[in-house]
């Protein structure tokens, strides 16, 4: 992207009454006042440049370099860091924000960097770049919400709805990014998946419609109406390529929507498919279960997002794109060399962890369903779509919340109250042993975990994101998928033809995948790390041989992945293949192996779309299970910074960071992108609303600690626990 030839604007003062304050931590997200100041700083430049109508798409922190954050003392450099290099990186940390803007008339995009100065309450434009033609920033909340308003005004859409018995007031739509559509080059567009809603709050997804308008996000104009073809005798008629005209290309009659109600709200839901005339009866046999912490919580929060809990220390940030961002994660080790209980050693583990991207490709080959492969991070933004969490509902116990702040089209900052939840949970058994000998003792220690969570709604789907820190040094990520399946209609007698499940009469839930890219920036006791691969290998020697007489032998050979090319790897269940972030410069005192943290993931499906499919070309990160590349401050998102309407992964994406594969990743500052997720073959039980399905990943210490780091967790006997029938028995002793 070539910079626009403009001189930096003169510093602009902070908006009246909104003095900006210096952040307590350099990774704190921009405040409301900072977002407003950045927008106010850009407006004069935009007007001077001749851009009369514009919308702000994104305003977020441009994080300072990792080296400068470490040099400033916000994260320990680690035992193997080069102290001279750390000192050389010391410099004042500037407060910079990225601003993404769209010219609402021409559709051209711009990205700028604005420097904020709390000391003077002023800001200045550091740089402005015009995006290349066709490059589109993320879709916005306003654009997604505009979809329904736009289609309800269009005479062609009104007629299309009326032809199947739907009035404009009953017409609803989910706006979706469209991938790429060759019919509308250069336009910023979205596709509208349409539904009918006949009563307030009813489940509109139970009534999918047989057409999909395409709208211009800048003008609100309906550019086309697509009518998906339906199968005749199990086969799609004609080509699956985009139609050049509307209904005439679908080779079918119009199809009225399914009208049967399938509600999930208690006051609307009926008793089931065989008792449609009865309302659902809510269960009455659930007794209260309370979480109490009479002495308060065990964690400490300083400033906006600095957290300390049970030897852990970390910074929690909120990003409009990634949602939860965990940074500067360290552990106070009392048993490290030279440390003690009174003087623990703060050992760095990970500089930054976040969900950097995800893609949701659908399996239906018919047009336009193959254009449903949303990048929920890059095209929409998990932070932008985050929920305000409710006390006692989304989190239980003693809760502390953090707000999220995002920019809107007019440059104002909107607060999402309670976007992030911080709390503790019982984690079940931490460790236990019973000496079975006569007079032997039993010792049982229950664990606790510190949970950082958010929930976001992306159209029909909900994603609950939970990062948990455990007392044994484990870090856990849980992604809980819920909400409502993306649904389309079937004609009378039509079947899903192997690409979906008919979850209710004439309602088709297409097969699909959810593939997440977790970005992990390791700093295992220092900046120079490697990625080690382990496999389980049965002995090559036959049973009865001298080397393997009983036939039971196996080994766990390891190898260091030396280059970025070698760092592109896939899981293998037969080998139980795994990867570990290691510091080869430090060895465990007993095992002699390098200290590290192992990646343990329960679900790593392959991308089932072809490598040269639309999904494969735009989301190459999903084609492999782990990518490891040299660290670069500017490299963050594996499918690129600007994702909507790309034809393939852009230059700033993971395949180009790997390049020719020759760059060294051994004993270097590295970053890994881990692909995890699930292949969803919908069940009838997933309808009308999905029970949460969970995808998990752990980062587990392996040789990082001298021994079990949870030996100092005290055993506790909960005095509130009672026999289940206490107070209701006849009084007879149970062991008389």
Instruction: Quickly tell me which residue has 């919308």 as its tokens.
Output: 55
Three-state SS sequence of 388-455: CCCECCCECCCCEEEEEEEECCCCCEEEEEEEEEEEEEEEEEEEEEECCCCCCCEEEEEEEEEEEEEE
User: What separation in angstroms does the CA of 680 have from each of 11, 257, 293, 614?
Assistant: 52, 24, 38, 19
Q: Whole domain around residue 44: which residue ranges?
A: 32-130
Place of tokens 């050979």: 557
Last-in-domain residue among 111, 130, 149 = 130
| pLDDT interval class at 133 (50, 70, 90) | very high
627/563 Cα distance (integer angstroms): 11
Residue 729's pLDDT band (cuts 50, 70, 90): very low
**pLDDT tens digits for 329-343?**
999 999 999 999 999
Quick check: pTM over 0.75? yes
Task: State residue 2's pLDDT score.
Answer: 37
- Between CA 353 and CA 704 the distance in angstroms is 19
Q: Is residue 248 part of a domain?
A: no
pLDDT surpasses 50 at 734: no
pLDDT at 427 over 60: yes
Which pLDDT score, from 0 to 100, does residue 730 have?
46
Burial of 628 (0-12, 13-18, 19+ CB in 10 A): buried
The last residue of one of the domains, among 110, 130, 150, is 130
Looking at the domain assignment, is residue 102 inside a domain?
yes
pLDDT at 125 over 50: yes
In a domain? residue 630:
yes
Q: Is the link from the previous residue into 348 a cis peptide, with omega within 30 of 0? A: no
Which of 96, 113, 130 corresponds to the end of one domain? 130
Q: Which residues is 313 bridged to in the sheet?
A: 308, 330
pLDDT tens digits, one per residue of 651-668: 999 999 999 999 999 999
**What is the band of 492 on the pLDDT scale with cuts at 50, 70, 90?**
very high
- Residue 452's Cβ-count burial label (10 Å; 0-12, 13-18, 19+) is buried
Whether 388 shows a pLDDT value over 50: the answer reads yes
- Domain assignment of residue 692, yes or no: yes
> Known catalytic residues?
376, 461
Label residues 388-404 b or e (16+ Cβ within 10 Å = b). ebeeeebbebbbebbeb
pLDDT tens per residue, range 520-572:
999 999 999 999 999 999 999 999 999 999 999 999 999 999 999 999 999 99
**Strand ranges of the sheet holding 507-510, from the earlier edge strand across to the other edge:** 487-489, 507-510, 500-504
pLDDT of residue 233: 80
User: What backbone torsions phi and psi does residue 541 show, to the nearest 5 degrees?
Assistant: -85, 140
Tokens describing residue 325: 């961002």
Say what the pLDDT of residue 374 is.
94
Query: Is the preceding omega at residue 368 within 30 degrees of 0, hence cis?
Result: yes
The dihedral sign for the CA sequence 74, 79, 82, 83 = positive
Rounded Cα distance between 458 and 481, Å, is 11
Q: How confident is the model at residue 735 (pLDDT cuts 50, 70, 90)?
A: very low
Asked whether residue 509 is assigned to any structural domain, the reply reads yes
The average pLDDT across 416-433 equals: 97
Taking the C-alpha atoms of residue 153 and residue 220, their distance in angstroms, rounded to an integer, is 10
pLDDT one-digit tens code per residue, 164-192: 999 999 999 999 999 878 899 889 999 99
**pLDDT tens digits, one per residue of 280-292:** 999 999 999 999 9
Cα gap 533→668, rounded to integer Å: 16
What whole-number distance in Å separates Cα of residue 407 and Cα of residue 34?
10
* pLDDT over 70, % of the chain: 94
* Number of independent structural domains in the chain: 2
For 142, residues 6+ apart whose C-beta sits below 8 A from its C-beta are 55, 408, 409
User: What phi, psi does 24 have (nearest 5°)?
Assistant: -75, -20
pLDDT band, residue 3 (cuts 50/70/90): very low
Evaluate whether residue 690 is within a structural domain: yes
Identify the CATH number of the domain in which residue 81 sits: 3.10.450.40
pLDDT at 352 over 80: yes
pLDDT at 5 over 50: no
Q: Dump pLDDT digits (tens) for 573-600.
A: 999 999 999 999 999 999 999 999 999 9
Structural tokens at position 722: 């009672």
Q: How many residues does the chain have?
A: 736
pLDDT in tens, 667-693: 999 999 999 999 999 999 999 999 999
pLDDT, mean over the chain? 93
- For residue 454, being part of any structural domain is answered with no
Q: 727: which residues sit within 8 A by CB, 6+ positions away?
A: none
pLDDT(35) > 90: yes
**pLDDT confidence tier of residue 476, bands split at 50, 70 and 90:** very high
Cα–Cα dist 383/305, whole Å: 16
Q: Which of 382-396, 498-512, 718-732 has the lowest mean pLDDT?
A: 718-732
> Tell me: the pLDDT tens digits for 202-245?
999 999 999 999 999 999 999 999 999 898 888 887 545 555 55
CB 90 within 8 A of CB 65: no
pLDDT band, residue 615 (cuts 50/70/90): very high
Do the Cβ atoms of 265 and 249 come closer than 8 Å? no
Task: Report the CATH number at residue 591.
Answer: 2.70.98.20
Residue 411 inside a domain? The answer is no
Buried b (16+ CB within 10 A) or exposed e, 219-237: eeebebbbbbbbbeeeebe
Taking residues 374-398, what's their average pLDDT?
A: 96
CA dist., res. 497 & res. 432, Å (int): 52
Distance CA 664, CA 655 (A): 15
């Amino acid at each position: 992207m070539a910079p626009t030839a403009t001189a930096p604007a003169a510093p602009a003062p902070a908006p009246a009454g909104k003095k900006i304050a210096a952040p307590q931590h350099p990774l704190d997200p921009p405040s409301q006042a900072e977002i407003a100041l950045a927008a106010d700083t850009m407006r004069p430049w935009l007007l001077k440049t001749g851009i009369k109508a514009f919308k702000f798409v994104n305003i977020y922190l441009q994080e300072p370099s990792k080296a400068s954050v470490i040099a400033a003392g916000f994260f320990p450099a680690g035992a193997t860091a080069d102290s001279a290099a750390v000192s050389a990186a010391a410099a004042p940390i500037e407060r910079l924000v990225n601003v993404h803007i769209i010219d609402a008339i021409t559709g051209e995009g711009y990205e700028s960097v604005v420097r904020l100065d709390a000391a003077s309450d002023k800001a200045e434009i550091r740089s402005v770049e015009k995006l290349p033609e066709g490059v589109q920033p993320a879709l916005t909340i306003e654009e997604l919400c505009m979809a329904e308003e736009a289609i309800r005004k269009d005479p062609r859409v009104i007629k299309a709805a009326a032809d199947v018995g739907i009035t404009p007031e009953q017409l609803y739509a989910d706006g979706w990014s469209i991938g790429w559509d060759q019919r509308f080059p250069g336009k910023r567009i979205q596709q509208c998946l349409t539904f009918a809603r006949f009563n307030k709050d009813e489940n509109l997804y139970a009534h999918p419609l047989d057409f999909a308008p395409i709208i211009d996000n800048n003008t609100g104009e309906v550019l086309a109406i697509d009518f998906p073809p339906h199968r005749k005798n199990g086969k799609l008629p004609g080509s699956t390529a985009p139609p050049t005209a509307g209904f005439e290309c679908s080779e079918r009659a119009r199809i009225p929507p399914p009208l049967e109600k399938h509600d999930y709200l208690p006051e609307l839901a009926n008793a089931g498919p065989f008792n449609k005339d009865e309302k659902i009866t809510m269960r009455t046999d659930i007794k209260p279960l309370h979480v109490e912490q009479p002495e308060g919580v065990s964690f400490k929060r300083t400033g906006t997002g600095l957290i300390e809990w049970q030897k852990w220390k970390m910074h929690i940030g909120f990003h409009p794109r990634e949602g939860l961002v965990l940074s500067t994660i360290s552990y106070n080790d009392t048993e490290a060399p030279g440390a003690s209980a009174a003087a623990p050693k703060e050992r760095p583990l990970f500089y930054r962890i976040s969900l950097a991207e995800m893609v949701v490709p659908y399996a239906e080959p018919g047009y336009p369903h193959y254009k449903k492969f949303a990048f929920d991070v890059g095209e929409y933004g998990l932070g932008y779509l985050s929920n305000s969490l409710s006390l006692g509902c989304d989190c239980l116990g003693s809760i502390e919340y953090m707000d999220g702040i995002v920019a809107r089209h007019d440059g104002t900052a909107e607060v999402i109250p309670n976007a992030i939840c911080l709390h503790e949970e019982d984690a079940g058994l931490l460790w236990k042993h019973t000496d079975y000998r006569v007079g032997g003792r039993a010792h049982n220690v229950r664990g606790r975990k510190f949970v950082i969570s958010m929930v976001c709604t992306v159209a029909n789907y909900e994603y609950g994101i939970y990062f948990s820190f455990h007392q044994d040094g484990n870090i856990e990520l849980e992604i809980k998928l819920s909400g409502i399946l993306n649904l389309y209609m079937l004609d009378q007698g039509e079947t899903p033809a192997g690409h979906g499940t008919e979850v209710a009469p004439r309602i088709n839930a297409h097969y699909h995948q959810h593939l997440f890219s977790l970005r992990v920036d390791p700093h295992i006791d220092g900046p120079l790390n490697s990625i080690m691969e382990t496999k389980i290998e049965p002995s090559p020697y036959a049973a009865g041989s001298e080397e393997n007489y009983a036939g039971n032998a196996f080994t766990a050979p390891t190898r260091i992945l030396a280059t970025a090319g070698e760092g592109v790897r896939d899981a293998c269940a037969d080998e139980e293949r795994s990867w570990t972030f290691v510091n080869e410069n430090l060895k465990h005192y007993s095992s002699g192996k390098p200290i590290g943290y192992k990646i343990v993931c329960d679900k790593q499906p392959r991308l089932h779309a072809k490598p040269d499919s639309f999904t494969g070309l735009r989301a190459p990160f999903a084609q492999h299970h782990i990518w490891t590349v040299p660290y670069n401050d500017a490299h963050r998102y594996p499918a690129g910074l600007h994702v909507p309407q790309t034809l393939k992964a852009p230059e700033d994406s993971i395949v180009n960071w790997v390049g020719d594969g020759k760059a060294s990743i051994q004993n270097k500052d590295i970053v890994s992108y881990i692909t995890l997720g699930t292949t969803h073959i919908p069940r009838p039980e997933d309808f009308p609303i999905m029970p949460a399905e969970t995808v998990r990943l752990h980062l587990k210490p392996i040789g990082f600690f001298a021994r079990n780091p949870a030996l100092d967790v005290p055993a506790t006997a909960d005095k509130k626990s009672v026999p289940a029938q206490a107070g209701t028995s006849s009084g007879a002793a149970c062991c008389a």
